[in-house]
Amino acid sequence: QVQLVESGGGLVQAGGSLRLSCAASGRTIDIYTMGWFRQAPGQEREFVARITWIGGSTRYADSVLGRFTISRDNAKNALYLQMNSLRPEDAAVYFCAATRRIISTTPRDYDYWGQGTQVTVSS
């Protein structure tokens, strides 16, 4: 089992920045890929960014490309999401997730999830 705990959410004005963190514990040796997803009220959970745990290969949703940066610190078992130039449409609950088996942008492929952290962007 892997446990994930997000932090760093909050309220920010449009154009501002936030940095989300995710602390992983447990059998982190099993992690293959980690990702960030988000879910706004009444909407499905959507992919934001993912990174492979060993190689550091990244991929982003088109909506955040050039504004968000995903990174990880293997020594600290930590995942990060630097969010710049935030827009009102970025407001959502952001979830950290991990998969043991695959490189994926699909939520159902992820085995472990955090509880989420709220990001609110005021216009």
In tens, the pLDDT along 52-88 reads: 999 899 999 999 999 999 999 999 999 999 999 999 9
pLDDT in tens, 9-55: 999 999 999 999 999 999 998 899 999 999 999 999 999 999 999 98
The rounded distance, in Å, linking the Cα atoms of 66 and 112 is 27
| Confidence (pLDDT) at 52 | 96
| Confidence (pLDDT) at 15 | 98
User: Are 18 and 10 contacting, i.e. CB atoms less than 8 angstroms apart?
Assistant: yes
Q: Which residues contact 58 (CB under 8 A, 6 or more apart)?
A: 49, 50, 51, 52, 70
Label residue 101 by pLDDT band (50, 70, 90): confident
CA proximity to 4, closest of 45, 40, 41, 34: 34
